């Protein structure tokens, strides 16, 4: 039985092109036994009709804060209190800004301020709007206020030729997020702290160029979220990525390997450390303060220096976490290199994955992992990176055993 069976969900439909997905979202929620009460903003009615929404929800559609009949019994308060979850989809930049600022200029805003139920937002907007500093501030404020988020995803936009982060999560993703909020979860890592690294590092050559790699940060960010969901207090040290920060996680943004190591050491002591970041092995020994120009003498000679080895440093650190997990991204001799890394770097486990171009792991959405420990090799099937992260969180909980505080 779904965790949504018998639950009453208030769905606020915002004014964006992604509003059409809410018709399918209503159907998916009702399939799982949830009752859906729709609230449409004035702008939402420009994209989908109240008739379609009401027919699918088998319920009245609310839209007017000053409706004489509804407000005789202070309808916005009643709607806010009668539901176990409020979902906002699509959550536009404007709606996020209004809630972050505490505005209640319409029925949706009044409900969001009055509700005591969890609020789940599914943002949807143009990538430029999502990346705007104002939206980032509002996202952080809403997260501090306890609002949960699902998405946005990456893909093509309604605007011709535009793509990036900003697509509303698909209906089944929103349903899964709602189920996670409304179903009690085991939190085997409650009371423990974890530090996770994610993404690439950028090692500057001159003011406009740098050494980097193709890491998207998806796996590291997913692991940080999975450890959070398992109850851990998580610090994520992230290199430059285009992903949104996981909610409920303390995030430290860095650029270089040296900055990443410094941020990790500042996060100690910790019970768990998972090093997922694809850290550049080398940096330019002497970064140019001016842009290097082409000359008749040909390409410049770049002297390289070795970057600090973050996994080895923490694996042998005076404040070494109780459990240290590293990643081995290899194109050849996968298991041999992973075993060597396990021994040399003081790790308890190495997650080995083949990052050959044909596999599509770097920057992709799936991963095939071999878990290497002193006890042997555990082969995992090909999994979505979120699923792989959940499996790792379960392995960590099992590995810690009695030391995990329930």
* Domain CATH code at residue 267: 3.40.50.10300
Structural domain span for residue 100: 8-182
Indicate the pTM of the whole model.
0.60
- Give the mean model confidence (pLDDT) for residues 65-87: 74
Whole-number pLDDT of residue 297: 86
The SS3 of residue 92 is coil
In contact, 26 and 56? CB cutoff 8 Å: yes
Query: 59, 138, 213, 337: which is the annotated catalytic residue?
Result: 213
| Residue 364 pLDDT > 70 | no
Beta sheet of 370-373, edge-to-edge order: 250-253, 233-238, 193-198, 272-275, 323-330, 349-354, 370-373, 376-379
- Give the mean model confidence (pLDDT) for residues 337-360: 84
Q: Which residues are annotated as a binding site for CTP?
A: 281, 291, 308-311, 327, 341, 345
Let me know whether 254 and 221 are in one domain: yes
In contact, 355 and 365? CB cutoff 8 Å: no
Whole-number pLDDT of residue 246: 87
Whole-number pLDDT of residue 402: 32
Name the band, by pLDDT with cuts 50, 70 and 90, for residue 159: low
Note whether residue 69 is domain-resident: yes
Let me know whether 249 and 387 are in one domain: yes
- Neighbour tally for 239: CB within 10 Å: 26
The SS3 of residue 91 is strand
Note whether residue 278 is domain-resident: yes
Let me know whether 173 and 236 are in one domain: no
Considering only residues 181 and 350, tell me which one the structure prediction assigns the higher pLDDT.
350
Note whether residue 390 is domain-resident: yes
DSSP character string of 29-79? HHHTT-EEEEEE-TTGGGTS-HHHHHHHHTSPPB--TT-TTGGGGTHHHHH
| Residue 253 pLDDT > 60 | yes
Total domains in the fold of the chain: 2
Let me know whether 285 and 311 are in one domain: yes
Let me know whether 173 and 205 are in one domain: no
- What CATH number did the domain enclosing 106 receive? 3.40.50.1950
| Residue 157 pLDDT > 70 | no
In contact, 33 and 4? CB cutoff 8 Å: yes
Name the band, by pLDDT with cuts 50, 70 and 90, for residue 186: confident
Note whether residue 269 is domain-resident: yes
Residue with tokens 């009709």: 49
As beta bridge partners, residue 35 has 8
Let me know whether 301 and 326 are in one domain: yes
- Give the mean model confidence (pLDDT) for residues 133-151: 89
- Between 142-151, 228-237, 300-309, the lowest mean confidence (pLDDT) is in 142-151
Note whether residue 299 is domain-resident: yes
Let me know whether 175 and 200 are in one domain: no
Q: Report the percentage of the chain scoring pLDDT > 70.
A: 92
Q: Which residues are annotated as a binding site?
A: 281, 291, 308-311, 327, 341, 345
Note whether residue 398 is domain-resident: yes
Let me know whether 303 and 156 are in one domain: no
The verdict on whether 138 is a catalytic residue reads no
Whole-number pLDDT of residue 358: 59
In contact, 128 and 107? CB cutoff 8 Å: no
Note whether residue 284 is domain-resident: yes
Let me know whether 84 and 157 are in one domain: yes
Residue 89: its H or E element: strand 85-91
Average pLDDT of the chain is 89
Last residue of a domain, one of 152, 182, 212: 182
Considering only residues 74 and 398, tell me which one the structure prediction assigns the higher pLDDT.
398
Let me know whether 152 and 273 are in one domain: no
Strands (E) in 159-208, as ranges, are: 163-167, 193-198, 203-206
| Residue 67 pLDDT > 50 | yes
Last residue of a domain, one of 141, 161, 182: 182
Question: What size, in residues, is the chain?
Answer: 406
Let me know whether 214 and 335 are in one domain: yes
Cα–Cα dist 25/11, whole Å = 9
Note whether residue 2 is domain-resident: no
What is the Rg, in whole angstroms, of the alpha carbon atoms belonging to the chain? Answer: 24
Let me know whether 256 and 346 are in one domain: yes
Beta sheet of 35-40, edge-to-edge order: 35-40, 8-13, 85-91, 119-123, 148-149
Name the band, by pLDDT with cuts 50, 70 and 90, for residue 259: very high
Q: How many helices (H) and strands (E) does the chain have?
A: 13, 21
Last residue of a domain, one of 182, 203, 236: 182
């Amino acid at each position: 039985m779904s965790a949504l069976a018998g639950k009453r969900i208030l769905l606020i439909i915002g004014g964006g092109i992604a509003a059409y997905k809410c018709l399918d979202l209503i159907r998916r929620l009702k399939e799982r036994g949830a009752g859906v009460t729709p609230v449409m903003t004035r702008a939402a009615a420009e994209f989908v009709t109240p008739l379609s929404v009401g027919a699918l929800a088998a319920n009245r559609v609310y839209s007017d804060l000053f409706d004489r009949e509804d407000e005789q019994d202070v309808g916005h308060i009643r709607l806010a209190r009668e539901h176990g979850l409020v979902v906002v989809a699509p959550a536009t930049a404007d709606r996020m800004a209004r809630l972050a600022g505490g505005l209640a200029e319409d029925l949706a805003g009044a409900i969001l301020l009055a509700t005591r139920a969890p609020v789940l937002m599914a943002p949807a907007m143009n990538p430029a709007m999502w990346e705007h500093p104002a939206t980032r501030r509002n996202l952080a404020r809403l997260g501090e206020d306890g609002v949960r988020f699902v998405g946005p995803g990456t893909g093509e936009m309604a605007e011709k030729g535009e793509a990036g982060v900003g697509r509303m999560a698909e209906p089944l993703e929103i349903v899964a997020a709602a189920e996670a909020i409304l179903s009690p979860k085991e939190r085997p890592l409650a009371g423990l702290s974890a530090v996770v690294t994610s993404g690439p590092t950028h090692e500057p050559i001159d003011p406009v160029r740098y050494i980097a790699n193709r890491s998207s940060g998806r796996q590291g960010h997913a692991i940080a979220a999975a450890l959070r969901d398992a109850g851990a207090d998580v610090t994520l040290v992230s290199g430059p990525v285009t992903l949104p920060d996981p909610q409920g996680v303390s995030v430290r943004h860095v650029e270089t390997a040296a900055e990443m190591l410094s941020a990790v050491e500042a996060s100690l002591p910790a019970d768990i450390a998972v090093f997922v970041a694809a850290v550049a092995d080398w940096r330019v020994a002497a970064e140019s303060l001016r842009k290097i120009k082409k000359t008749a003498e040909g390409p410049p000679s770049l002297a390289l220096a070795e970057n600090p080895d973050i996994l080895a440093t923490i694996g042998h650190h005076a404040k070494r976490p109780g459990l240290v997990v590293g990643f081995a991204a290899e194109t050849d001799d996968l298991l041999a290199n992973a075993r060597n890394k396990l021994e040399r770097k003081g790790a308890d486990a190495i997650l080995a994955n083949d990052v050959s171009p044909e596999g599509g792991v770097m920057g992709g959405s799936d991963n095939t992992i071999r878990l290497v420990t002193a006890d042997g090799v555990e082969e995992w099937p090909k999994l979505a990176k979120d699923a792989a992260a959940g499996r790792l969180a379960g392995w960590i909980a099992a590995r810690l055993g009695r030391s995990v505080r329930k």
